[in-house]
Amino acid sequence: MAMSVSPVRGTRDYLPREMRIRDAMQAIILRTYENNGFQRIQTPIMEDIERLDKSDGGENLNMIFRILKRGQKLDLQKENLTEKDLADMGLRFDLTLPLSRYFANNKAELRLPFKVIQIGEVFRAERPQKGRLREFYQCDIDIIGEETAAAEQELIHTTAKALQALGFDEFTVRLNDRRILFDMIETAGFPKEEVLSVCITFDKLDKIGAEGVRKELTEKGFDRAAIDAFMQIVGNESITLKEIAEYCGDGRAARELEALLESAKELAGGAYGIEYDKSLVRGMGYYTGTIFEIVSPKFKSSIAGGGRYDKMIGKWIGEDYPAVGFSIGFERICEILLNSESLSFDAGQKRMGLFYSDGDVMNDVIRKADEFRAEGYDVTTIRRGKKLGKQIAALENEGFDAVYVYGDEAVKELNR
């Protein structure tokens, strides 16, 4: 009964060699986050389906994996059965929504500001033909309970450190503020209640270009005059944040962003770029203020992204808490680093293969291996086959540091 043995579409099996690098990378990220005063927590992968459906997850709401109800709760006889009748839970599509629920649930036991690390898997029913993963890791830091830009500053500083610790040298943090974006859109003459709809179209600027944006806004039935006014600002490549501030809104958000840009630049000290990007939107519906992402010339899409979501916790408990988060796209940086020639991640411990023969007493072999283990080697015992040379070559190829044949005088160091 031969069955397919591939992982389900959009998921992956990780081989030992790649896993070693992924583990080392996650350890570097975690260490950097902890060193900068963040604490790790964990939320369940399964979440209440209503909570997921009612969240402001933008496009991700269409990509929720739903878990079938079980036992008597599953009523297949019901008339006009819909998807909603069938599922009671879903898999988390990001780490931010679960964090806001977690904070609401546990805030009595948490010290403010709550500086929190989450490293875990998220699930999105992406269309498989896109070649995107449907099950992948995110590495997030968030600060809850800090309303000033000190939070943004710290998230940018810490995320940049993590990327540097991983060996990234060229990257730029792009910043914008949803409030500025909303003001621009309203000032141009779009109706207040359509601001998010305009944002969704504008977010496609990179993909479909200015003409594409103009076309889609026209198709959505917006006023020609509003579209013209809006496209004039966003099409003006030399317009500064100050000029935008003068043009629209009360200018407060722009002044705050200007201050953050200056202070983040000063802290970066030229080690990485900091810049204002008036066309940065970020997909999530829940952002209320600053939004940011990190781009690298080595990779076309962003490698980290985040923003402020001051209204999300209030949805749970009726009381708002300021909150900002920054998420590293772990799979993207893995892809970059695995393909980078300059990178050589060595995950620490020296490795040895210890060969034994059928006649050897197994307990003696194990005790010998334990001696080397106590000396600092990670030792794997291997039964000696007919072609010892081939077996040794395989270990060398895997990056092992030494071999020892049971009974021999000396350890043989491998040339790597």
- Beta carbon of residue 152, minimum distance to a second copy (angstroms, whole number): 10
What is the CA angle 56-140-123, rounded to 5? 60
How far apart are CB 195 and a second copy at their closest, in Å? 21
| Terminal CA-CA length for the chain | 43
In the complex, the smallest distance separating the C-beta of residue 80 from a second copy, rounded to whole angstroms, is 9
**Dihedral-angle region of residue 167 (phi above 0 means left; psi in -120 to 50 means alpha; beta otherwise):** left
Tell the smallest beta-carbon distance from residue 328 to a second copy (Å): 18
Nearer to a second copy by C-beta: 44 or 212?
Answer: 44
> Which C-beta is closer to a second copy: that of 161 or that of 215?
161
Nearer to a second copy, 89 or 284 (CB): 89
Give me the least distance between CB of 339 and a second copy, in Å please. Answer: 18
> d(Cα 150, Cα 263) in Å, to the nearest integer?
10
Q: Tokens standing for 28?
A: 């570097």
Is residue 271 within 8 Å of residue 294, measured between CB atoms?
no
Nearest-approach distance from CB 127 to a second copy, in angstroms: 9
> Which of 9/224 has CB closer to a second copy?
9
Residue number, 264 or 295, with CB nearest to a second copy: 264
Nearest distance from C-beta of residue 38 to a second copy, angstroms: 7
Angle, vertex CA 100, rays to CA 95 and CA 103, nearest 5: 115
Structure letter (DSSP) for residue 336 = H
DSSP string, 303-327: EEEEEE-TTHHHHHHSS---EEEEE
Report the C-alpha gap between 117 and 33 in whole angstroms: 7
* Rg of the chain taking only CA atoms, in angstroms: 26
Q: For residues 128 and 191, which CB has a smaller minimum distance to a second copy in the complex?
A: 128
Of the two residues 45 and 231, which places its CB atom closer to a second copy in the complex? 45
Closest by Cα among 281, 35, 290, 38 to 164: 35
Give, for 305, the enclosing helix (H) or strand (E).
Answer: strand 299-308
